[in-house]
Structure 1
Amino acid sequence: MRHLISLDDLTDADLRSIVARGAGFSSGELAGARPLEGTVAGIYFRRTSTRTRTAFSSGALRLGAQIIAYNGEDLQTNTGETSEDTGRVFSRMLDTLVARTAGDPAELRAWAAQDRMSVVNAMSADEHPTQGLTDLTTLLRHFGRIEGLRVLYVGEGNNTAAALALGLTRFAGTELELRTPEGYGLTADVRARAEALAAAHGSVITERHGMADLPADVDAVYTSRWQTTGTSKPDPDWRRAFAPFQVTGELWRAAPKAVFLHDLPAHRGEEVTAEVLDGQHSIAFDQAENKMHSAMAVLEWCRVGIIEEAAAGGPL
């Protein structure tokens, strides 16, 4: 049984396969494939979602699966049932569970401790792995490669930044530079894991807490909204610390050919200006569409082992 709780769960081969498959769905080369016919996917979101929920719902249907959707008010956990018991019930009725808890990933790992149902993390507090796969798919579709790309990330070192750091560093020659407000950078754990990946794969990751001396000639500039879903900031004056990290058109003076990425939703006038988000360099809405294509690749990857076994005459 395959689960995706963190990008660390993927081998290098798995990561590359999912990204390439997502690019294949995005290009239309794989249109019409329905490898999930006869399966049922649960789509469980406790927190708000536009792109990720729609991506996995639409993607599952396009691949032939049926879906059951739940929100945070639907389940008996609200009347006292334990999360562990809920997960055990899910595993008896669903083939795949896509879940956004926005909390501790330990709950997702508990649900994954069985051999009946695949579990996909659609965003936890520490990491947004399917966003990371979407970002890699978008870079591959746009540039035709990921190796050697230089990416500047500006903003909070949140779960999106964590996934980017844990994914991009696994491609040789890539350079990821993060500019984050003091006190709002990558966690020490994520930074250490990303640095280890960079050392093993011949890539570079750096993080600084100011906007001086930005790198020139980057291939992509990436930002995320300042207030991540399901979180709050202890400092009531946090916006002052974030203000210098707004992405404006000035950043393109040093990188005139760079594309702009944003995981969305965007707050124009906060983390990014409307000029940039709606401008000629922005591929943020292509990136949003690729979330569906990447979701399809993830869903297929989760179930492909069982599908292949069934095709060979083994038990489904």
Structure 2
Amino acid sequence: MTNLYGRPDSVRDHGLFSLSELKPAALWKLVERSVELFHDREAHGLPLRGRVAGVLFTRTSTRTRTAFQTGIVRLGGTPISYGPHDLQLNTGESMADTARVLGSMLDLLVARTAGPLDELRELSSEGGLPVINAMAAEEHPTQGVCDLATLALAHGGLDGLSLLYVGEGNNTAVALAYGMAMVPGARGTFVTPPGYGLPAEVLRTARQIAGAAGAELVETHDLAEVPEQVDVVYTTRWQTTGTSKADPAWRDTFRPFHVDAALMRRWPHASFLHDLPAHRGDEVAGEVLDGPRSLAWTQATMKLCSAMAVLEATVGPATG
């Protein structure tokens, strides 16, 4: 269980595993820095100059992988990229042995693996190097930083924001729940299909964090129970990257959670977010995703800026 009292003040020197492990001030620094870099990608002193960063992705990725590799280069570093079949992990070498080797050669590691978050913690502890979670089965924390930064950019701030999330309680939703829980006066309403909600432990931890921030986290399985006032509607792809669903009829369960123009009309001034990739006609209608209230493409651009912010925070600002 997350230790809420031992959360670090920053991601410096150890990387980022879960937003739940950060103090609010550390998260806000990442969000604010992401927005600064959105306005000016050159507003840094090349903090990764002379550093080598591993980029390990054993799952498909367009935005996150491109964002981190580009961010490493823009910050002056050298990326070393590994695909799903490039390391001897694929032939049976242990995670601990792999970590020791990577730690002896790299300055930091950005990783998306097929396994649980504990694998990333093992890479960090055994390798003695900071690791950035670029998506694990349990959580996608850098997406959460990106999402909050996009909202801060578009809405001029986060305090008191009312967000409605519609869809599966997946790793993106987990990061969003932890992030919204730290926003003073915010309300996060998660409408999830029955059997596909946020994990109970996540909901407990997020509500515990929210209690300290004066925020509110609600989960329901009925769109009729959503709040009257909503500033943001967020959805994600129904089939989360690298996962499958045991129930062959799962699409029937998800169909009522489709975000279309009729749903958006309930809140005429609400913006729309989607972490992409999107399947028009499934979780969202094309007219919503590509409509004037959609922030999805700003959100995609913010992936680079938030990746740069996390990378910079991990190694510290440039010196000299």
Normalised to the residue count of structure 1, the TM-score between the two structures is 0.94
Residue aligning to 1:192 = 204
- Following superposition, the deviation at residue 217 of structure 1 comes to 2.8
Which moves more between the two structures, 106-115 or 35-44?
106-115
Q: How does 1:69-108 map to 2 (within 5 A)?
A: 69-108=81-120
Deviation at 1:36, TM superposition (A): 1.0
Query: What is the aligned counterpart of 2:189 among 165, 174, 177?
Result: 177
Deviating more after overlay: 141-150 vs 110-119: 110-119
- Specify the SS of the correspondent of 1:222: strand
Which residue of structure 2 aligns with residue 255 of structure 1? 267
Instruction: Tell me the C-alpha RMSD between the 2 structures.
Output: 1.4
How much has 1:195 moved relative to structure 2?
A: 0.6
Identify the residue that residue 231 of structure 1 maps to in structure 2: 243
Aligned match for 2:230, one of 218, 227, 242: 218
Sequence identity of aligned pairs in percent?
A: 52
Query: CA offsets per residue over residues 82-113 of structure 1, 9 Å max, x none?
Result: 11111111111111100001421111111111
The reply on whether 1:293 has 2:301 as its aligned counterpart is: no
- Which residue type is aligned with residue 291 of structure 1? K
Matching residue within 133, 148, 162 for 1:136 = 148
Q: Is the 8 A contact 2:104 2:127 kept in 1?
A: no
Where structure 1 has 5 or more consecutive residues not aligned to the other structure, the ranges are: 312-316
The 3 A distance-change label for structure 1 pair 124 and 94 is same
- Shift of residue 2, structure 1, vs aligned partner: 2.1
Letter paired with 2:219 = E
1:9 aligned partner: 21
User: Per-residue deviation at 1:116?
Assistant: 4.3
In the alignment, residue 80 of structure 1 is paired with which amino acid?
Answer: G
Q: 1:49 aligns with which of 40, 57, 61?
A: 61
Contact 2:99 2:126 in 1 (8 A): no
Q: d(CA) in 1 for partners of 2:133 and 2:18?
A: 7
1:66 to 61, 75, 78: 78
Contact map agreement 1:102 1:123 (CA 8 A) in 2? no
Which residue pairs with 2:254 in the alignment? 242
1:31 alignment partner, SS class: coil
Aligned length: 308
Task: Tell me how far apart the structure 1 counterparts of residues 226 and 21 of structure 2 sit (CA, whole Å).
Answer: 33
TM-score w.r.t. the length of structure 2 is 0.93
Q: 3-state SS of the aligned residue for 2:211? A: helix
1:113 match: secondary structure: helix
SS class of match (2:131): strand
